[in-house]
Amino acid sequence: MMALRSVLLGVGGHLPERVLTNAELAERVDTSDEWIVARTGIRERRIAADGEKTSDLAIKAARAALEHAGRDAHDVDLIIVATATPDLTFPATAARVQAALGVVKGAAFDLQAVCSGFIFALATADNFLAREQAKLALVIGAETFSRIVDWEDRGTCVLFGDGAGAVVLEAQTCDTQRGVISTFLRTDGRMHDLLYVDGGPSETQTTGKLRMIGNAVFRQAVEHISGAMLEACARAGVSIDTVDWFVPHQANQRILDGVARRLGIPVEKVISTVAVHGNTSAASVPLALDAGVSDGRIKKGDLVLMEALGGGLTWGAALVRM
Ligand code: COA
């Protein structure tokens, strides 16, 4: 059957040059490489240079995705930047990205769902394309969490990193099995204080620092992520066994393993970049997708299931045929 679909034409990523190792962190706070690796799987993460902004990372990821897609920036008519670390309170980081790419049509806006941001942005873009309100969309996840991490708090500072990932989606009339097949989004605001930033323009007039009750978030993660993945598959009428690749939000290797165990997913099918990226929040899913596509594991025609959970709490999943 033919239908209007959001087809994923290209993916790209960008990481800052500076690598921050666990050994360096152990010089700053009371931690060790052994503890971080055993509890999270993280070995290193990237940190933006002084003056390097979220928009700088987003622009580079967007250019890489457009090149991979073989599309010109001038044809883009929708840009959504998922970020919890915008350059400024306003205007949207997406506006800066739009201007830098030379895009002069359509809309560009930011979307805030913290670590679930890319999944929320992908679902949002898919709806715009399905309603024929845009034709060619850039969906970007970009973060500089190093700016909001409390570098004195060993419970959080070891987890996060900076980076950006992007995909190009085009509205195409094609086989219904191609492109974005289903999405599932959830927010439960009752858990807003499990993971939050203790500053903002309205409440404190400061930027604030990231605060997290890590073990409480951990307990929510496996259950809600598994549920979202099953729901996205159920909405598409496909069995999770037929999924070729799982591209999870890269928060903690133990969460990735826990979800895989719970759903009976072979670990070889799970793309993991957490060891070298850490948790890059909204950038983590597109960066992992980019890694899987770049090294040739994820191929055209493969069925890919992405998922994430983050502050809000928010969580969701997206099923895409590449
Ligand atoms: N180095 C050494 N010890 C540390 C540490 C560090 N970097 N961070 C915390 N600890 C200590 C704690 O102080 C605590 O010590 P105590 O028992 O003496 O009080 C102990 O380790 C256990 O802490 P706990 O928080 O229960 O550990 P954990 O096994 O849950 O692991 C996280 C901590 C943060 C790695 C884990 O909870 C996690 O990954 N949570 C989910 C995070 C997440 O996904 N967040 C983002 C969602 S987008």
Please write the tens of the pLDDT for every residue from 269-318. Answer: 999 999 999 999 999 999 999 999 999 999 999 999 999 999 999 999 99
315, β-bridge pairs? 186, 309
Q: Is 22 a catalytic residue?
A: no
| Degrees, nearest 5: CA angle 39-86-67 | 90
Residues 161 and 215 both lie in one domain: no
> Is the pLDDT confidence value at 264 over 90?
yes
Ligand 1 lined by 157 (C-beta under 6 Å): no
Looking at the structure, do residues 147 and 227 belong to the same domain, yes or no? no
For residue 249, which atom of ligand 1 is closest to its CA? 48
Cα 28 to Cα 14, 31, 158, distances in angstroms:
27, 8, 10
How far apart CA 290 and CA 52 sit, in angstroms, is: 21
Whether the CB of 154 sits within 6 Å of ligand 1 = yes
Residue 141: its pLDDT value, please? 98
Domain that holds residue 140: 3-174
Do residues 12 and 61 lie in contact, with contact meaning Cβ atoms separated by under 8 Å?
A: yes
Element (H, E) at 229: helix 214-236
Instruction: Give the residue-averaged pLDDT of 121-148.
Output: 98
Q: Is 74 a catalytic residue?
A: no
Output the average pLDDT for the chain.
Answer: 97
Confidence of residue 177 (pLDDT cuts 50, 70, 90): confident
Task: Kindly report, residue by residue over 186-235, the tens digit of the pLDDT.
Answer: 999 999 999 999 999 999 999 999 999 999 999 999 999 999 999 999 99
- Tell which residue, 278, 45, 282, 285, has the closest CA to residue 143: 282
Which one of 218, 224, 280, 285 would you pick to mutate in the ligand 1 pocket, going by the greatest count of ligand atoms within 8 A of its CB?
Answer: 218
- Give the pLDDT confidence of 7-22 residue by residue, as tens digits: 999 999 999 999 999 9
Q: Are residues 153 and 280 in the same domain?
A: no
Ligand 1 in reach of 155 Cβ (< 6 A): yes
Tell me, rounded to whole angstroms, the distance of Cα 228 from its chain centroid. 15
Is 217 close to ligand 1, i.e. is its CB under 6 Å away?
Answer: yes
CATH code for the domain in which residue 145 is found: 3.40.47.10
Looking at the fold, whether 103 and 192 belong to one and the same domain comes out as no
State whether 105 and 192 are in the same domain: no
User: Which residue of the set 115, 157, 224, 252 is catalytic?
Assistant: 115
Same structural domain, 112 and 260: no
Q: Do 153 and 216 lie in a common domain?
A: no
At which of 174, 193, 213 does a domain end? 174
Residue in 42, 196, 220, 252 to alter for ligand 1 test, most ligand atoms within 8 A of Cβ:
252
Looking at residue 47, what is its pLDDT? 98
- Residue of the CA atom closest to atom 3 of ligand 1: 31
pLDDT of residue 29: 97
User: 165 and 79, same structural domain?
Assistant: yes
Q: How far is CA 289 from CA 127, 148, 296, 321, in A?
A: 21, 25, 11, 13
Which segments of 145-232 are extended strands (E)? Answer: 162-175, 179-187, 195-197, 210-212
For the chain, the domain total comes to: 2
Q: Band of the pLDDT at 113, cuts 50, 70, 90?
A: very high
Q: How far is the CA of 216 from the centre of ligand 1 (A)?
A: 10
Q: How far apart (Å, rounded) are the C-alpha atoms in residues 231 and 237?
A: 10
Identify any residues that bridge with 81 across adjacent strands, giving them in sequence order. Answer: 110, 140
> Do 117 and 136 fall into the same domain?
yes
Q: 309 - beta bridge partners?
A: 315
Residue 66 CA, distance from chain mean position: 18
Testing ligand 1's pocket by substitution, the residue of 32, 36, 39 carrying the most ligand atoms inside 8 A of its CB is 39
Is the shortest distance between the CB of 258 and ligand 1 below 6 Å? Answer: no
Single out the residue in 126, 153, 174 at which a domain terminates: 174
pLDDT at 37: 98
- Does 20 lie in the same domain as 141? yes
* Structure tokens that stand for 140 in this block: 């970007």
Same domain assignment for residues 91 and 222: no
Residues 165 and 79 in one domain: yes
Examine the residue annotation and report whether 192 is marked as an active-site residue of this protein: no
Q: With a cut of 80, say whether residue 175 has pLDDT above it.
A: no
Segment 24-76, tens digit of pLDDT: 999 999 999 999 999 999 999 999 999 999 999 999 999 999 999 999 999 99
Please say which residue of 140, 174, 208 terminates a domain.
Answer: 174
Taking the whole predicted model, whether its pTM rises above 0.85 is answered as yes
| Closest C-alpha to 138, from 171, 96, 166 | 166
Strand partners, 279: 160
